Amino acid sequence: MADITRRLGWRHLRGAPTAHVRHHRSGRLVHDGPGLSFWYRSLTAALSEVPVDDRELAMTFHARTSDFQDVAVQATVTYRIVDPGIAAARLDFSIDPDTGAWRGAPLEQLGSLLTETAQQHALDVLARTSLAAALVDGVASVRERIADGLAAEPRLPATGIEVVAVRVVALRPEPEVERALRTPAREQIQQEADKATYERRAVAVERERAIAENELASQIELARREEQLVDQRGTNARREAEEHAAADAVRAGAEAARTVRLAEAESTRTVQLAKAEATAAREVGEARAAAQAAWLRVHEDVDVATLHALTGTRLAENLPRIDSVTVSPDVLTGLLARLGNGASGGPEQ
């Protein structure tokens, strides 16, 4: 849409670079080209604006295959207007001099022309193709057929149109047919999934069995080793008991031998001690007898008074310590009398 401004009865048009503007005044072409900017009077001007950029035309139509199945075709055609003069002459691209809006709908006319042409060629190729083949290889064949058909269509160059590219997005059957077609694949996928599940379960069961067997084998091995351990412990206990018994026997024999040796030594020592004591006693007795005999021999020639004095001395040696002695006159008189009597009678005896 052209940008038009008003100034005191004049109009100014400013076109876009992708829009080809044609200005006729009084039947004569005054301006012709893309991206123009000029002043004009609306009462005498006839304007046309033809887009020259690439345009996308999305189309959806239904077709029937050779096995009488309806399919929906989704395609996109890219085109451009390469000859704006021819297009403006064949289609109504005129715009309002005051607003710049198209008076008609030229792009819809182009879209109808392209859609009908593409649909005609697509119907032609799909009518000779089964549904299964169309779903497998139909996109490529339909695209090639539409592209070749549009390129060979004489109305398009005569309208100044060039087809740039053709794309077929999808070929879809009816929803019921699509669900029916999906069913075998879904069943196969489900079967494969079930098979994978069963295989996984089988593998899990096999692994559990292997684990159980390993655990059982481990328990059997542990029991066998425990039995060996019990036997070894019994053997060790018996060996230890035998060694303890042997050690006790050796210890008892050694103790008995030591006791016998101690008894023999004690007996020998007792006998020797007895002999020694007997010998010592005999020698002491003999010495005492000899001393007594000598003592007696010594005192054979001593008078009685001397013997009494020695007796008193010996007695005094054996008496306890006396700090003081009190002699009464009576005791002293008697003692002196006795001493005198003894002295007088001694020589006579």
Does residue 181 carry a pLDDT above 80?
A: no
pLDDT digits (tens, 9 = 90+) for 211-260: 999 999 999 999 998 889 988 888 888 888 888 888 888 888 888 888 87
pLDDT at 211: 92
- 7: CB partners within 8 A, 6+ apart: 39
Nearest to 11 by CA among 28, 53, 27, 31: 31
CB burial class (10 A; 0-12, 13-18, 19+) of residue 111?
middle
Does residue 133 carry a pLDDT above 60?
A: yes
Model's pTM, two decimal places?
0.52
pLDDT digits (tens, 9 = 90+) for 11-58: 898 988 889 999 999 889 999 999 899 999 888 899 999 999 999 999
Over residues 133-147, the mean pLDDT reads 88
Nearest to 45 by CA among 70, 11, 20: 11
Q: Quick count: other Cβ atoms within 10 Å of Cβ 265?
A: 10
Cβ proximity of 139 and 170 under 8 Å:
yes
pLDDT band at 166 (very low <50, low <70, confident <90, very high): very high
Does residue 153 carry a pLDDT above 60?
A: yes
- 245: CB partners within 8 A, 6+ apart: none
pLDDT at 299: 64
Q: How far is CA 21 from the centre of its chain?
A: 73
pLDDT digits (tens, 9 = 90+) for 278-331: 777 777 777 777 777 776 676 666 666 666 666 767 666 666 665 666 767 776
pLDDT at 348: 41
pLDDT at 82: 93
Q: Quick count: other Cβ atoms within 10 Å of Cβ 4?
A: 20
Average pLDDT of the chain to the nearest whole number: 83
pLDDT digits (tens, 9 = 90+) for 88-129: 888 989 988 888 888 889 999 999 999 999 999 999 898 888
